[in-house]
Amino acid sequence: MPRTIIKQFEVEHLSILDENGNIDESIKPELSDDRLKEMYHHMLVARTFDEKLFKLQRSGKIGTYAQVKGQEACQIGSAIALEKDDWVVPSFREMSAMLTRGADKVKVVQSWNGDVRSYNGSGPNLPTAIPIASQLLHATGIAWAEKLKKTNNVVLTFFGDGATSEGDTHEAMNFAADFKLPVIFFCQNNQWAISTPRSHQMANETIAQRAVAYGMKGIQVDGNDVLAVYKATKEAIENARAGNGPTLIEGVTFRMGDHTTSDDSSKYRTEEMVKEWEAKDPLKRLRAYLQNKGIADDGHFNWELDTITKEIDEAVEAGLAIAPPPPENMFEHIYEQLTPDLQEQQEALLAELKEMQGGAQ
Ligand SMILES: Cc1ncc(C[n+]2csc(CCOP(=O)(O)OP(=O)(O)O)c2C)c(N)n1
Ligand SMILES: [Mg+2]
């Protein structure tokens, strides 16, 4: 038997808005001027809030913080393409997406202070998932439920380049493709999993190409180009709603900050690398486009920044004023019914707290 080629594949890369704010008119998505301004608004909220939260951590006012800086286009371009009843299943770096979906800024501050009460347990936005890639299984499960219930809703889940090495990612993608579930797997390839570079995370050149192996659609987009992200996500959503199953989107971007405030990235990457990506800043290029087209001017941008800064300052003040939760709160939202060993630990803690209170009297 001669050897024959039975499968060949191509990986599409989508880029619309370049680093100078110029656009490829032939492929630009349908978006009104107001919608474009809305996108920039969300990006500016994310950038401003991110800086504020970083400073709050540095001054000891909040716990660990994971910066979003550089990834705003990935998160906003995708989240804004969803409808109200669609689900977002995030990891831990998705503050921009959640704010775009209407998250309360006060609760964002509360949540970075480790207060579980910041999540109200309802609505189609799941809470932060710290165990890497666990949320992909939740997304596939929710999409299966939506399919069984015959709704028109889709699920969008975010994960990182590092998460692609987890078994959970494989299980979630294989199941979703096989059952043709309405999920969008959005990988924010920010080039790093803490100190592990993407080049050492996998031997394949793109993450998007893995879609071929699962039998689903896959596309790589310029993750710092909010228009390309929006267009690819919109197409994936339409495809999912039409019953054609999941899409894997790889947004190529860069984590501009440290992994979290507990990390020091100068130990494993050079300043030149970061500088190179500064030139590709997602906010700068959308702002340049809006200015080039006469859609918004400096006056508008300055007004936006002032209004947003004021709103964030107020939210921070309110968030920091919330008293910390009682220690026994740590046992809530783990299981519907605590396991015997956790129950034992809870009782021991309650007894200790009672003793402490007794001692204080
Ligand atoms: C199952 C699991 N293993 C390890 C960790 C520790 N950890 C936290 S973040 C991270 C790297 C994640 O990288 P990536 O998926 O690229 O996301 P990014 O931080 O770049 O957004 C690791 C290994 C964890 N939280 N969960
Ligand atoms: Mg990463």
Set 13, 35, 268, 333: catalytic member: 268
Per the annotation, the verdict on 13 as an active-site residue is: no
Percent of the chain with pLDDT over 90: 90
| pLDDT at res. 116 | 83
In this prediction, residues 306-315 reach a mean pLDDT of 98
The confidence score (pLDDT) of residue 147 equals 98
Instruction: To the nearest 10°, report the CA torsion of 52, 17, 199, 264.
Output: -20
End-to-end CA distance of the chain: give it in Å, rounded. 88
Residue 297 to residues 1, 227, 291: CA-CA distances in angstroms?
67, 20, 6
Nearest CA to ligand 1 atom 17: 160
Domain limits of the chain? 13-20+29-325, 335-361
Catalytic residue among 42, 259, 285, 287: 259
Residue 3 a catalytic site member? no
Three-class SS state of 358:
helix
CA distance 180 to 144: 9
Q: Over the stretch 92-111, which tens digit does the pLDDT of each residue have? A: 999 999 999 999 999 999 99
pLDDT at residue 360 is higher than 80: no
**Which of 192, 194, 195 gets mutated to test ligand 1 (max ligand atoms within 8 A of its CB)?**
194
The reply to whether 119 belongs to the active site is no
Q: Is 194 in the pocket of ligand 1 (CB under 6 A)?
A: yes
Q: Of 152, 158, 174, which Cα lies nearest the Cα of 237? A: 152
Q: Is 93 in the pocket of ligand 1 (CB under 6 A)?
A: yes
What is the sign, positive or negative, of the torsion defined by CA atoms of 80, 85, 91, 94? positive
- Listed in sequence order, the DSSP H helices in the chain are 33-58, 72-79, 95-100, 105-112, 134-148, 167-178, 210-214, 226-241, 271-278, 282-292, 298-320, 340-360
Strand partners, 188: 160, 251
What six digits make up the tokens of 207?
């993450």
Q: Taking residues 13-25, what's their average pLDDT?
A: 95
Fold of 13-20+29-325: Rossmann fold (3.40.50)
Rg of the chain taking only CA atoms, in angstroms: 22
Three-class SS state of 19: coil
Taking 90 as the threshold, does the pLDDT of residue 114 lie above it?
A: no
Confidence of residue 340 (pLDDT cuts 50, 70, 90): very high
What pLDDT does residue 192 have? 98
Phi, psi of 185 (to 5 degrees): -90, 105
How far is 347 from 91, CA to CA, in rounded Å?
A: 31
CA geometry: angle 165, 200, 174, nearest 5 deg: 20
Mean pLDDT (the chain) is 95
